[in-house]
Structure 1
Amino acid sequence: MNIPASELALIGGSSTLSIEMPEDLNLDYVNIIEKDLTFTTPFGTSPAFKLLELTGAEGTRRVLTCRMHGWRSGVTRADASRQIFWVFKQAGVKRILVEGGVGAINHLLRTRDLVIAHDYMDFSVRKDVGLEAKHLLVMREALCPEMRRSLVKHLENHWKGRVFDRGIYVNTDGRHFESPAEVNLFKIAGGDIVGQSICPEVYLAREIGACYAGIYLVVNYAEGIVAPWRHEELADIFYNESCMLGGLMLEFLRDLPTRQDCTCPSLRKETLLKEVYHKEG
């Protein structure tokens, strides 16, 4: 199956897992061109994608989307990420929007706050996850500053709660939550929110030369912060905020200016290691 061309991509996370995107939103500017698209990649069969068409002031544009970061039973999260971003590379994706539920490390945050993270810390063990060994990845401004600015402006005008224009995302391995001692370490290190999806996605986005930005919904307090999290509140947030957040993401992609005014594509450099290996060989 041929991979359709698309410059925009949307990766769904836990905050929209309870709904079908975009079917449950009933948006008149969204058309589903194709669904249940799976592709053979060097890292295994990809998760199912949908190809959407959004019509707005910026014209008609295509969005390639999949849900829950491609995670499936029997597939490692590293391979799931590689499958998704290999498909994005073939499709010519230039800008990627993601979402996910996170825990609050910063005690000033509250549940239902939105955080547009500006940086991250990787405490996962999935360090060597890439598509090729051709590039040196400069992780300065790993989360696109232009997309983030546009996101904050868009969300402040529409989200019913608080929106934070910066925050440090601490990435850990799942599927368990973190211990109070670990959360305290992350707090001392300067982390604001904790989750399990930004890495390796942020590395892979840089590797394919694409912009990457995320909307992170605070769904609970991390262990040892403010108050123990409650499963009932977690479920209430997941089930009752999904439609609003899903609609805001599609509106953002519909209205995102076509011009890419950022340095993201330039922060991928040709590796020098091949020259060293050649000389040593």
Structure 2
Amino acid sequence: MATIFEGFEKSTAEITEPKIKIGIIGGTGLENSEFMLTQESVSVMTPYGEPSDTFTLGSIDGVEIVALARHGRKHEINPTNVNFRANLWAMKSLGVNMILASNASGSLREELPPGCLVIPTSFIDHTSQRPKTFYDGALGHTTGVCHIPCYPAYSEGLRSILHKCAKDINVPAYDGNIICIEGPRFSSRAESMMYRQWGADVINMTACPEVYLARELGILYAAVALVTDYDCWRVEDTEFVTVEHVKQVMIKNAINTTKLFANAVTEIKKNSKELLEEAALSEKIARAAVMC
């Protein structure tokens, strides 16, 4: 494979006018795609293996949507074993140029209570076992070395829309830094307190490498961290984080997030010209970041 974009150019060679196509990657609690008009389900094989599940193709307000359950519809894939590269590659091959993603997260700040949303501005990658680039030099993979810029890490255009839509549905939303840990275990108290000192506001297990793999493909990307708990840094807390507690909060968070994403698609449609310009710039940056 000569360059990362050649195959995509061939598959979209007949497209003369750029149009918005939105990928939605649902994390814990958002494994279904009932929030959109479903058309069909498709399987995609990639040079990087098999994605987490089949992709659901549908629409919201006339905008084409490609939805994927990051952990699989039955939530059987742990964070480290998610094939992030296959997921993102398949999205690109299906014509996606913008992605909205959700991440169940723990709060590292008193002022970010369970039930609120954090729309990340930047990330800290504290994972160690995941492939972190499409440009790994392996046989059949794309060639070259990619030094992708990660500032800004997330699309400012999409982030602005998410903030507006959160306000419209009366859900508190804040900016913040997200740290991604390997998982699947939760943090120790010492680790949790250390992450606070590093400047992280929320903690999660799937934010990375998804965010910067999207940047390598030139896809606009924004995420919503769904705060489920206070992690374990609060010294006055005697209870610990449990899966059952997280599930209970996720039910409410999932309802809010499906409303948020549906509204966001409509707003993206209204701002399509500016966002398509940002998407074109994002792809230009991704191409320029490659040394062959």
| Pair in the same fold by TM > 0.5 | yes
**TM-score, normalised with respect to structure 2:** 0.79
**Matches for 1:41-60 after TM superposition, within 5 Å:** 41-46=46-51, 47-55=53-61, 60=62
Counterpart pick for 2:45 among 30, 40, 43: 40
Q: Distance in 2 between matches of 1:129 and 1:267?
A: 18
Given the alignment of the two structures, is residue 9 of structure 1 paired with residue 23 of structure 2, yes or no?
Answer: yes
Counterpart pick for 2:173 among 156, 163, 170: 163
Paired residues of 1:119 and 1:141 also in contact (CA < 8 A): yes
Q: Which residue of 1 aligns with 2:138?
A: none
Given the alignment of the two structures, is residue 247 of structure 1 paired with residue 259 of structure 2, yes or no?
Answer: yes
Q: Distance in 2 between matches of 1:230 and 1:158?
A: 28
Given the alignment of the two structures, is residue 183 of structure 1 paired with residue 189 of structure 2, yes or no?
Answer: no
Q: Which residue of 2 aligns with 1:80?
A: 83
Spell out, residue by residue over 1:219-244, the C-alpha distance to the aligned partner (whole angstroms, 9 max, x if none): 00111226344545423212233223
Q: Which residue of 1 aligns with 2:65?
A: 63
Q: Which residue of 1 aligns with 2:165?
A: 154
Paired residues of 2:153 and 2:211 also in contact (CA < 8 A): yes
Q: For this pair of structures, how many residues does the alignment match? A: 257
Spell out, residue by residue over 1:48-71, the C-alpha distance to the aligned partner (whole angstroms, 9 max, x if none): 11001122xxxx221101113559
Q: Which residue of 2 aligns with 1:206?
A: 215
Q: Residues 142 and 184 (structure 1 numbering): CA distance in 2 closer, same or farther, change over 3 Å?
A: same
Aligned residue type for 1:268: A
Q: Residues 244 and 184 (structure 1 numbering): CA distance in 2 closer, same or farther, change over 3 Å?
A: closer
Please say which of residues 194-203 and 227-236 is displaced more in the overlay: 227-236
Q: Which residue of 1 aligns with 2:97?
A: 94
Q: Distance in 1 between matches of 2:219 and 2:25?
A: 13
Indicate the percent of aligned positions where both proteins have the same amino acid. 21
Aligned residue type for 1:152: H
Q: Residues 250 and 187 (structure 1 numbering): CA distance in 2 closer, same or farther, change over 3 Å?
A: same
Deviation at 1:181, TM superposition (A): 1.0
Structure 2 unmatched runs, 5+: 1-10, 136-142
Aligned residue type for 1:41: T
Aligned residue type for 1:16: L
Deviation at 1:139, TM superposition (A): 0.6
Q: Which residue of 2 aligns with 1:236?
A: 248
**CA-atom RMSD in angstroms:** 2.6
Deviation at 1:147, TM superposition (A): 0.6
Q: Distance in 1 between matches of 2:150 and 2:285?
A: 7
> Helix, strand or coil for the counterpart of 1:41?
coil
Q: Distance in 2 between matches of 1:70 and 1:203?
A: 21
